[in-house]
Amino acid sequence: MNLINTLNWRYATKKFDPTKKIDPTHLELLKEAVRLSVSSYGLQLYKVLIIEDPKVKESLREASWDQSQITDASHLFVFCSYNRNFNEGVDSYINLLQEGVDESKKPGIQAYGQSIKENIDSMEESEKQAWSEKQVYLAMNNLLIAAGELKLDACPMEGFEPDKYDEILGLNEQGFHAVLVAPVGFRAADDLAQFRKKVRRSTEELFELI
C-alpha cells in the first residue's frame, strides 16, 4: 500500500519553508480530497477557508500563540463548523440529492431530509455543536492524507484562539465557528521534528479481534 508509506513519511511539521508555495494544481487536488470526505448523513455541515494573504495570516498568527507555522506555511486551512442554520444545510443537501432524480422518488428524498432535521433538532445545543465539530475532524483527516500523497507537509493544530479567529475572519456573521487549522506547505530543512522517531502503539496493544 502506497498509503502506508505516505503515513510513515508525514509528520506534524513544526517549521515550514516560507519561500516555497503549493502548486495551484496540487491545491485543487487538496480541495477535492477534502470535498470527498465522509460526513454524517453526507451533509458536510462545515466550511473550509484557505488563507494565503500574508496580512491575514499575520493577524491569525497573533491569535495562534505566535506559532510560526501560521505565517510560514504556503497556505493555512481553517476548518469551520456550523453553529446555526443546520436546517438550511440539510435543505441544500436534499436539493443536491434530488438533482436529476425521477419525480416519483423526490417525496422519499424529502421525507429523508425531514427525518434528518428532526434528529438534529432533537439534540441539545451543546450536543449539536459537538456533533458538528466532529465532522470537521473527519474532513481534516482527508487533507492530511492527501497532502502526504502529494509530498506536501501539514500540521493539524488546535492551538489557537477560536473566538479571535471567528472575529478576524467574520465567521460569526456567516454562522460558522473555527474548530481546527492546518498549515500546509513544505518542511524547512532544519525542522528537527522531521528526524524524530515515529512512535505509535503496537498492533497487539491497539487491536483486539473478537
What is the model's pTM? 0.95
Say if 190 falls within a structural domain: yes
What is the residue range of 18's domain? 2-84+126-206
pLDDT digits (tens, 9 = 90+) for 147-196: 999 999 999 999 999 999 999 999 999 999 999 999 999 999 999 999 99
Say if 110 falls within a structural domain: no
CB 184 within 8 A of CB 34: no
pLDDT digits (tens, 9 = 90+) for 81-96: 999 999 999 999 999 9
Say if 112 falls within a structural domain: no
Say if 117 falls within a structural domain: no
In the chain, how many domains are there?
Answer: 1
pLDDT digits (tens, 9 = 90+) for 114-149: 999 999 999 999 999 999 999 999 999 999 999 999
Task: Please identify which residue in the block is written with the cell numbers 466532529.
Answer: 134
- At residue 57, φ and ψ (nearest 5 deg) are -65, -35
Q: Which of 112, 131, 171, 150 is nearest to 22 (CA)?
A: 150
Say if 159 falls within a structural domain: yes
Say if 116 falls within a structural domain: no
Can you give the CATH number for the domain in which 37 is found?
A: 3.40.109.10
